[in-house]
Chains A and B, each alone.
Chain A
Amino acid sequence: MFELSPEGKELVKKELARYEDKYSAIIPSLYQIQKENEGWVSPEAVDHLSELTGIPHSHINEVLKFYTMFNLKPTGKYHIQVCCNITCSMFQARELTDDLCQKLGIKEGEVSEDGRFTVSRVECLGSCDNAPAVQVNETYHDNMTPEKMDTLISELK
């Protein structure tokens, strides 16, 4: 059974009071859950949030499934998100993703055997000036090349 930490609950409470419509608190609350629940939002977590906020399950689920930033399956310890929008793609982001998957021996969205990595393609990270951009959990890594990627992976324990 998932339950938010006291700080997490405090955050949800604050967000609920912050907007005139309590539905607006769904996104920040889901982010908090994702942070505390090893990188994904489980159905039990939705149950918990619904109980906490009084927002119906179906409507939390609407938000959860609309935004791709919320993961609906468990991810590895490090969630490597490669931007594959126009600019990054022009700088070989797609090839970079394929290469990365091959090296880790996984397909996009899968968790590597040691539980450390998940790779996924994402939409624009807003870092076109440093394409190709990669986001690992909440940290940005710019101007990525296959070589820089190798170093990055070896540094991530």
Chain B
Amino acid sequence: MPKCTVNGIEVEVKDGATVIEAFMKTNESIAHYCWHPGLSVAGVCRMCMVEIEGNPRLQIACNTPVQDGMVVYNNSEKVKEAVEWTLKFHLINHPLDCPICDQAGECGLQEYYMSHGSYDSEMAERKVKKHKVVDLGEKVVLDTERCILCSRCVRFTDEVTKTNELGIFNRGDRSEIGTFENRPLNNKYSLNTVDICPVGALTSKDFRFRQRVWFLKSFETICQGCSAGCNVQAYYNENGFYRVKPVPNEEVNGHWMCDEGRDVYKFANKEHRLVSGIKKEDSGLSHMAPGAAAVQLREDLSDTKKAALVLTGQYTTEEYLKFVDSFTKNYGNEVYHWINNPKTFDDFDGILLRGDKNPNTVGLLRVLEGKGIKSSWADLEEKLNSGQIEHLVVAGPENLAVFPDLEEKVTLFGQAQKLTVLTPVKSKFYESADYQIPMKSFMEKDGTFVNHKGIEQKLGRGPIVVSQALTLLDLSMILDGSDFISVNSASMGGSL
């Protein structure tokens, strides 16, 4: 393992590591556009210049392997001047349209301009005009004038997705990123190109022009979209959630996440949410506080001889533990696992996407196993068909998009004499249920998801969207006899 000195700090790196990796390890800042830890080395942006003792010429850090005893600087005047000049070249044809650019606030050019820019352009020549608003595919828009040709996106489609949609066409200052005709950028990971674009050239159709990034706050959590359990950063403000981006985790998702997973923030927003408890009465639907609905449910259940519980893999391990415990203690051992897509359940696309579209199936199975529950779905169907179940409680999904069998299953559940649906989101299929009780979404609670590999990961609680909504923990307490609903987490976290 070679050792080197970076700006006076001694650091040990892996064999074959490059100088820029040594910089990353010491947290010393180094300007770079084309280098990305998840991609191959291109060495085209020339921003990561460093001075190596004993070497008369400056070198690029991203393509220079560390040798034992190397002494490297990037804070000398010589390096600063070189980086300044490189930045000037990058900006020759850049439109500098930051006020209308969606990347403003998180742009590599802006960032380094603050530290290296000269604030006074020395270019008298006209800028080269190129294509604006190029529709690359279903999710991504390209502005070729803003592009600095770092080639990160091209390398991403070559190396990660291996779909090769993108290329650099034409020559010299007319070079631009593009796709071949009739072959748009439509792979399942296309939005990663937007994340890794260091400038405002690639933008997401979903997010662009919806919010200035400096008006967004963020927190780290786990993606809810499938059993991969990608680490994500969720961005929000007082109007709701706006986007999620991947957070690197070598063990789980590397540097990436899929496009599907970027849509999971949507159902957590208020317009999709069930906000009050609903009880079906002879006179129609009556709306009430969720806690009050839960208390009425408890009373209803206490008269029932045959109650059953259906769980989806969309809740946290902590919730399963407590809720299964309360339910079985009070109403017997009838607990079933709803698998939403049995045919594609074990699929894997070779990158990240898993066929199991639930974040915590493993957590649920572990809890059921721990409690010694071995019920089969066929049993439930048989019991429902023969009218043996009086009251069925369903802890329903929050990501309805991955439950294609929702309508069919709710019709099946309707065969019970009474049906209770616990759900974070509203759906017209639930209208026939006797009780609908609003639950918190994964963005609003603490807890653990266990991914397909069995890795336990903690959710990071974000802002509360529906403060009166319950978690399965709250509901367990109510089923156990507590009427004190104020213990629910609404009083603990900040709210939108």
CA distance A46 to B181 in the complex (A): 10
CA distance A58 to B182 in the complex (A): 11
CA distance A138 to B164 in the complex (A): 34
Question: B170 near A66 (CB under 8 angstroms)?
Answer: yes
How many whole Å from A121's CB to the nearest CB in chain B?
16
How many whole Å from A142's CB to the nearest CB in chain B?
28
Question: B181 near A43 (CB under 8 angstroms)?
Answer: yes
Interface residue B180 (Cβ < 8 Å from any Cβ of A): yes
Which B residues are in CB contact (< 8 Å) with A61?
A: 167, 169, 180
A57-B183, A58-B183 given; A65·B169 CB < 8 A: yes
**Which of B165, B166, B167 has most chain A Cβ within 10 Å?**
B167
**Chain B residue with the shortest CB-CB distance to A68:** B171
How many whole Å from B58's CB to the nearest CB in chain A?
29
Interface residue A62 (Cβ < 8 Å from any Cβ of B): yes
How many whole Å from B241's CB to the nearest CB in chain A?
34
How many whole Å from A28's CB to the nearest CB in chain B?
20
Interface residue A115 (Cβ < 8 Å from any Cβ of B): no
Interface residue B179 (Cβ < 8 Å from any Cβ of A): yes
Interface residue A59 (Cβ < 8 Å from any Cβ of B): yes
Which A residues are in CB contact (< 8 Å) with B180?
A: 43, 46, 57-58, 61
How many whole Å from A72's CB to the nearest CB in chain B?
11
How many whole Å from A6's CB to the nearest CB in chain B?
26
Which A residues are in CB contact (< 8 Å) with B169?
A: 61-62, 65-66
Which A residues are in CB contact (< 8 Å) with B11?
A: none
Question: A58 near B171 (CB under 8 angstroms)?
Answer: no
Interface residue A56 (Cβ < 8 Å from any Cβ of B): yes
Interface residue B168 (Cβ < 8 Å from any Cβ of A): yes
How many whole Å from A124's CB to the nearest CB in chain B?
16
Which A residues are in CB contact (< 8 Å) with B183?
A: 57-58
CA distance A43 to B428 in the complex (A): 48
Question: B164 near A66 (CB under 8 angstroms)?
Answer: no
**Which of B165, B169, B179 has most chain A Cβ within 10 Å?**
B169
| Segment 39-98 of A: residues with Cβ below 8 Å from B | 43, 46, 56-59, 61-62, 65-66
How many whole Å from A61's CB to the nearest CB in chain B?
5
Question: B165 near A66 (CB under 8 angstroms)?
Answer: no
**Chain B residue with the shortest CB-CB distance to A55:** B164
CA distance A119 to B154 in the complex (A): 35
Which B residues are in CB contact (< 8 Å) with A56?
A: 158, 164
Interface string of B155-183 (1 = CB under 8 A from A): 00110000011111111000000011111
How many whole Å from B179's CB to the nearest CB in chain A?
7
Which B residues are in CB contact (< 8 Å) with A58?
A: 154, 157, 164-167, 179-180, 183
**Chain A residue with the shortest CB-CB distance to B168:** A62
CA distance A62 to B165 in the complex (A): 11
CA distance A46 to B169 in the complex (A): 14
**Chain A residue with the shortest CB-CB distance to B170:** A65
Question: A59 near B170 (CB under 8 angstroms)?
Answer: no
Which B residues are in CB contact (< 8 Å) with A62?
A: 167-169
How many whole Å from A153's CB to the nearest CB in chain B?
31
CA distance A152 to B209 in the complex (A): 60
Which B residues are in CB contact (< 8 Å) with A66?
A: 169-171
How many whole Å from A32's CB to the nearest CB in chain B?
20
**Chain B residue with the shortest CB-CB distance to A59:** B167
**Chain B residue with the shortest CB-CB distance to A58:** B167
Which A residues are in CB contact (< 8 Å) with B170?
A: 65-66
Which A residues are in CB contact (< 8 Å) with B157?
A: 58
Which B residues are in CB contact (< 8 Å) with A43?
A: 180-182
CA distance A65 to B169 in the complex (A): 6
A65-B169, A66-B170 given; A59·B181 CB < 8 A: no
How many whole Å from B490's CB to the nearest CB in chain A?
51
Which A residues are in CB contact (< 8 Å) with B164?
A: 56-59
Which B residues are in CB contact (< 8 Å) with A46?
A: 180
CA distance A92 to B157 in the complex (A): 48
How many whole Å from B162's CB to the nearest CB in chain A?
9
CA distance A56 to B162 in the complex (A): 10
**Chain B residue with the shortest CB-CB distance to A64:** B169
| Segment 167-218 of B: residues with Cβ below 8 Å from A | 167-171, 179-183
CA distance A58 to B171 in the complex (A): 15
**Chain B residue with the shortest CB-CB distance to A43:** B181
CA distance A62 to B158 in the complex (A): 14
Which B residues are in CB contact (< 8 Å) with A59?
A: 164, 167
**Which of A58, A59, A61, A65 has most chain B Cβ within 10 Å?**
A58
CA distance A84 to B167 in the complex (A): 30
Given A56-B158, A58-B180, A62-B169, 12 new contacts (CB under 8 A) = A43-B180, A43-B182, A56-B164, A58-B154, A58-B157, A58-B166, A58-B183, A59-B164, A59-B167, A65-B169, A65-B170, A66-B169
CB-based closest 9 A-B pairs: A56-B164, A58-B167, A57-B180, A65-B169, A62-B167, A61-B180, A65-B170, A58-B180, A66-B171
Give 19 A-B contacts (CB < 8 Å), ordered by A residue.
Answer: A43-B180, A43-B181, A43-B182, A46-B180, A56-B158, A56-B164, A57-B164, A57-B183, A58-B164, A58-B165, A58-B166, A58-B167, A59-B164, A59-B167, A61-B169, A61-B180, A65-B169, A66-B169, A66-B170
